[in-house]
Amino acid sequence: MTGKREAKRRDKTERVLNAAQEIFSTQAFDDVTTAQLATRAGLTTGTFFRYATSKSELLIDTYSNVLEQCLADSRDLPLSTAKRNHILALVGPIITATERHSGNVTAFQREVLFGTGQGPNRERAIELVKDIERELTRIVGGDRQLAHALYATLYMAIVRVAVGTLASDRLLADVSAKVDYLLADSEE
């Protein structure tokens, strides 16, 4: 009996996570309701909360997957890859996610950095953010200040898209230009 219960639990958890990914890919975080997430997962709202602690945790899980993709893409590249190309490959999934739905990426950053919850997804996301910065440090040959500047540049570019001072279709070009500038400055 325990095996069947565990299989049902995994199935419902997977349905909740899939529903969150589907909905957050098309709708703004603030516009999504838990009832909507529950309905998409095929669950009642009460049952839904057995498998999801909060809407924020689901958003964090969804965009943590993007950060994991960033790291996987970077680690798949050969060590001989040019720094610029390596950095842009690392941040590519974040840029794509921001171009699709900048408000949700900004909400993800807000919930991870300033959220009050201490759920497992938030803790995982914090570690992934640290991993991104560590990966940048590795790419730039151990220069932690440069890695921090590169990460801060990406973060602020995402914020600029969210507040409307940078068009989402200009995000990649903007980040690319700033990466070029920072790398050129570091090589002088």
Question: For residue range 81-96, what is the model confidence (pLDDT) as tens digits?
Answer: 999 999 999 999 999 9
Axis crossing angle, helix 144-163 with helix 120-139, rounded to the nearest 10: 120
Show the tokens assigned to 14.
Answer: 């997977």
What average pLDDT does range 103-122 have in this prediction? 84
CB distance 71 to 128 below 8 Å: yes
Q: How far are the Cα atoms of 12, 19, 133, 178 from residue 154, in angstroms, in the given order?
A: 35, 28, 11, 9
pLDDT at res. 20: 94
Euclidean distance between CA atoms 52 and 37, whole angstroms: 10
CB distance 132 to 151 below 8 Å: yes
pLDDT one-digit tens code per residue, 55-74: 999 999 999 999 999 999 99
pLDDT at res. 114: 86
CB distance 174 to 111 below 8 Å: no
CA 121 to chain centroid, in Å, comes to 11
The kind and range of the H/E element at 141 are none
At residue 113 the predicted structure's pLDDT band, cuts being 50, 70 and 90, is confident
DSSP 18: H
